[in-house]
Structure 1
């Protein structure tokens, strides 16, 4: 257990990345948890053995175990949301470092995001992540974390953001004061800090959202403005193990294709529900076709964590879907398109919107079946929300089966 591990959700998010990261941090000495995508929209639930619960957004999910968090340059940092989260955790700023090159999300980004969502429902979390990214793409001087150490420069850049969105809202002076206070509370570091952490001991990379929402590989346009695969990790770390996380049933928040969705399944969620901006929390049978696609576009996985293994025993109608029926054909694979081809992804979205579940079955051993279908060993099984509900399994206990990959193109 001396290797670095990257944790990525192979679905639409909400598969249990937080509880998996917490379990990894509890199994071994971990130098730090490194956040490598997304921002304050993340909602990673951790429940300790004694029932203490926190939903992590920007702090790493190892925080309750005293493991430091580092926000890499790929994060979008929201100082206001981070301050509220820190207060809920007892202000553990001594555990936090932030890359100075990370983008800053502001109240104007958030307001613009919500205004856009009201006009055209996309399924956003309403935290301004997409607006922050879009603004940065068109403005090389978009505010970054290091700017909080230079109030004059910070003010200029914040005024430009406010002007770009054409409405006032929160006074610039208040945001400058809050952001500079954030700069005094946290340790802002150079990108080389990441390499230092990796050299000092094993780290866990914690991803946000899921591969099926990836900005380039998800079902466009119902995606996130974030790279949710292992690509960002590969830019930061030369060697790491790839751990994919799935539930025993597939879920999705808000709009977009969801082939195996079944509203008749009674699968209530303690930590998920209808969101004002995301919309409804949707559930369905385990979608092996979509998850296989996620494994492929993520570059493969070395191992799997399967969560919610306690649920099938309580819900006898829950099954695994291994094929789709679409346009008069039965298919068991989603064919990836060229890299960064959003036109292809949009056609794929239309194709998936016409798809319906094909073959459905109920396995005798859920972990073994999922490992076989996705072609990787299950090394962590979760039977409930608490840290004591986790069980580590030796690689090879659930041997992967051979996956037949047809040669036809779908779209």
Structure 2
């Protein structure tokens, strides 16, 4: 049995929730390995809809253990709120079922403030963040001044850690002309939230290693998408963490040998939330039609997503940077009824054709998509559960995607409903 890493192969919002939900029912342990509460998974279970931002999907789907790994930045107030909300929907979230890495860095109120101030500023590069403090929290983690979950268990050390943190932040706030943070008040806030989150704290790396040695099936659950990776994405229009599959090892405390099958969640077209380059973006009625049919609004923010044709060049690149073994192709049904579909196979940059997405921001803004056209289909694919249920043109579309990205389809999703899935290869049985 292979442990499975789930990553988004585009800019996020690929429909990971349904696929992770399906896999988490087979998993013994589900681990969230990066990001913060800026990304969301929507899980539809029967007649109930659950929106998760921090909690691993295993809490909803019966996994024996769910873990928030050290690669996550954790807003303890957001965690408590989410646990309260999910508990109100009838899901039991206890320390026996949920563990949080003791070395996870915390998102504090000052991080949220700084994030919003930067994003709302009239100068500089507008990234399109969710203003939830994720980026500034990662900055403090890398700057070695973060307050971590384990620090809340030693209140006697908090004053010194807060002083170190505020030596940086208050100098920054003075430069921005905003009120400085009161260290005593921050300490009180942390002291108040501590007993609500510390019962979940654990040595996640050791717990996971024990589970691995025991033969448990582990699902590593990522947030966002590979094109938002701080190294391999459309920098600087990226998130502040590594979102590629290799981060599953670093962000959980397990070695790379613990990673088995990498499943890339891939939408049958392309969307993006926020700012940044988007070569295949459609600004016409076709783009609006895709957005309306796909209900393309952010799970967390509600922001409308930018929509465009499938970009095989981008996905082909993320297949390589994440070591993707197979893709789960989602939302095929959104393309029902189009007379013609287009797929970007490469780019034209300054008169030359290239088969990759360049790293430079200026070059990324100048690339032009080179398309291949394919006939659409009039029949519905919604709810299809076998290849025989699909129109011939839809099968051709899927096969062309496989050929262009150099990766097979392991699962094909034809609606948000969990059972409306064509299974080619179960990642856990690879």
Shorter chain as normaliser: what TM range?
A: 0.7 to 0.9
TM-score by length of 2: 0.82
| 2:384 corresponding residue in structure 1 | none
Residue among 397, 400, 419 paired with 1:369: 400
Q: Does residue 224 of structure 2 align to residue 209 of structure 1?
A: yes
Structure 1 residues 304-353: Cα deviation after superposition (integer angstroms, max 9, x where no partner): 11110111114445432112232122333336xxxxxxxxx3x2x21121
Aligned to 1:188: 202
Report how far residue 36 of structure 1 moved: 1.1
Q: 2:52 aligns with which of 30, 50, 56?
A: 56
Mapping 1:359-398, distance limit 5 Å: 359-362=371-374, 364=393, 365=395, 366-394=397-425
Q: Deviations over 1:163-220 (max 9, x none)?
A: 5323338931442134312334424225211212223311100011111111111121
- Alignment partners' CA distance in 1, 2:310 and 2:225: 15
TM-fit CA distance, 1:19: 1.5
Unaligned runs of 5+ in 1: 336-344, 396-411
**Aligned-partner SS, 1:53:** strand
Shift of 1:51: 2.9
Partner of 1:293: 317
In 2, are the aligned partners of 1:101 and 1:191 still within 8 Å (CA)? Answer: no
Query: Shift of the alpha carbon at 1:223?
Result: 1.1
- SS of 1:196's partner is helix
Gaps of 5+ in 2: 171-179, 376-392
How many residue pairs are counted as aligned between the two chains? Answer: 378
- SS of equivalent residue, structure 1 residue 208: coil
Match of 1:153 in 2: 157
1:84 equivalent in structure 2? 81
Q: 1:356 — aligned with what?
A: 368
**Any idea what SS the aligned residue of 2:416 has?**
coil
**Residue pairs, 1:176-325, within 5 angstroms:** 176-200=190-214, 201-235=216-250, 236-237=254-255, 238=257, 239-264=259-284, 265=287, 266=289, 267-268=291-292, 269-270=294-295, 272-273=297-298, 280-298=304-322, 300-325=323-348
Query: Aligned equivalents of 1:85 and 1:215: distance in 2?
Result: 27
Decide which moves more: 216-225 or 317-326: 317-326
In 1: Cα distance, 2:58 partner to 2:299 partner: 27
**Where does residue 385 of structure 2 map in the other structure?**
none
Residue 20 of structure 1 corresponds to which residue in structure 2? 19
User: Any conservation in 2 of the 1:76–1:102 contact (CA below 8 Å)?
Assistant: yes
Would the alpha carbon gap of residues 159 and 384 (structure 1) be closer, same or farther in structure 2, given more than 3 Å must change? farther
Q: CA deviation at 1:271?
A: 6.2
Q: Distance in 1 between the 2:17 and 2:163 partners?
A: 36
Equivalents in 2 of 1:60, 1:328: separation in Å?
A: 46
Cross-structure match for 1:402: none
- Equivalences for 1:23-102 in 2 at 5 Å? 23-26=22-25, 28=26, 30-48=27-45, 50-67=46-63, 68-90=65-87, 92-94=93-95, 95-102=97-104
Corresponding residue to 2:138 among 133, 137, 151: 133
Name the SS for the 1:305 alignment partner: strand
Distance 1:61 1:242 in 2: 17
**Equivalent residue number for residue 5 of structure 1:** 4
- In structure 2, the residue corresponding to 1:379 is in which secondary structure? strand
Aligned-partner Cα distance in 2 for 1:318–1:51: 33
Q: Which moved more, 1:311-320 or 1:385-394?
A: 311-320
Q: How many Å apart are 1:290 and its aligned residue?
A: 1.0
* Residues 41 and 299 in structure 2, CA contact (< 8 A), matched pair in contact too: no
Alpha-carbon displacement from aligned partner over 1:268-299 (angstroms, at most 9, x marks no partner):
254624987x965211000101111111222x
